[in-house]
Structure 1
Amino acid sequence: MESVNPNEKPAKPTEDSDSSFTRSAGSQKTCSVSIPDPTPGELHGPKEGVDIFGYVIGGVAAVVAAPVVLGAVGFTGAGIAAGSVAAKMMSAAAIANGGGVAAGSLVATLQSAGAAGLSASSNALLGAAGSAMGGWLCGSDD
């Protein structure tokens, strides 16, 4: 093991032409670290077009599919469809609340969205969630 002189100042790092930084102190060991140069104009983000495609498709699909799915489960513009999943949800909510559906409950919120559509902020939130899911599903294996 080499002895270290506590009074000796370490040498300052020097930069070589290949972006390698070297530190040495007298007869002590030399430590060298190479830092790769980034490619000029390189964007740090998705590496392939398929990643961007996943984000876009996921966001658009979520916003477009929401009203279709709400209608399919029974939350329609004309009200809750008889015999549907929505009707079963409404029945369970009414029984749990002593005969009525509470304002602001899941059933009431979904019925409002099915009848009047989603607000701009709801669409934005839904699009962001769908975009994240699409990016995750279509992400690269790198």
Structure 2
Amino acid sequence: MRRTGRPRGGDGRDGAAPAAAPTDTDTLPAMKNKVKGATLGAAVGVGVALVGIPAGIWALGFTAAGIAAGSVAAKMMSAVAIANSGAVPAGSAVAVLQSVGAAGFSLGAKIGLTSTLGPLGAAAGAKLFKGQDKPGDKPK
């Protein structure tokens, strides 16, 4: 069998319809939607890192004034103290959460969290964002 150098199928001569090449007018709105989704996702990821996680730690009862009475943090501290003969060991989850609750994240932790959660949010936003490809289209 001799090769002729031309592509097989899809050229209209063998009964198959020629493949339509995507045009800029077809792909540009879809790409804009992905960029919008990625931007929104990155903003959500960074917001979670800088605001959501510290707010969640505070809501558990790890505050700047100490562990709030009757909170989840107080129950955690009690359990750790009972397990360790009345002391809360340095480096334990309770100690680390109290440190974050009292002083916030260090600069290194903020950089690490935002550099991890920002791109994760961007990837999720680009993948999940569903909008209109063309004016007049129904949302997907």
Smaller-chain TM-score range?
0.5 to 0.7
The answer as to 2:117 corresponding to 1:129 is yes
1:140 Cα shift?
Answer: 2.0
Say which of 8, 33, 40 aligns to 1:47.
33
Following the alignment from structure 1 to structure 2, what is the Cα–Cα distance between the partners of residues 110 and 137? 33
* Percent identity over paired residues: 38
Task: Give the alignment's TM-score, normalised by structure 1.
Answer: 0.61
State the structure with bigger RCO (CA 8 A, min sep 6), 1 or 2: 2
Alignment partners' CA distance in 2, 1:54 and 1:87 = 34
CA contact (8 A) 2:34 2:129 kept: no
Distance 1:137 1:105, change over 3 A: farther
Q: State the Cα deviation string for residues 4-48 of structure 1 (Å, max 9, x = none).
A: xxxx322212xxxxxxxx238xxxx79887362452894985625
Structure 2 CA distance for aligned equivalents of residues 31 and 138 of structure 1: 34
**Unaligned runs of at least 5 residues, structure 2:** 132-139
- 1:73 and 1:38 map into 2 onto residues whose CA distance is 53
Moved more, 87-96 or 38-47: 38-47
Rounded to whole Å, the distance in 2 between the matches of 1:136 and 1:10 is 42
Q: Does residue 78 of structure 2 align to residue 88 of structure 1?
A: no
Within 2, Cα distance between the matches of 1:45 and 1:107? 45
Matched AA of 2:5: K
Q: Compare CA radii of gyration and give the structure with the larger one.
A: 1
Asked if the contact 2:36/2:126 (under 8 Å) is kept, the reply is: no
More helix by proportion, 1 or 2? 2
- The separation in 1 between residues aligned to 2:53 and 2:99, in whole angstroms, is 13
Aligned to 1:71: 58
Give the Cα–Cα distance (whole angstroms) in 2 for the partners of residues 78 and 9 of structure 1.
83
Q: What count of residue pairs does the alignment treat as equivalent?
A: 123
Which structure dedicates a bigger proportion of its chain to strand?
1
- Aligned position for 1:5: none
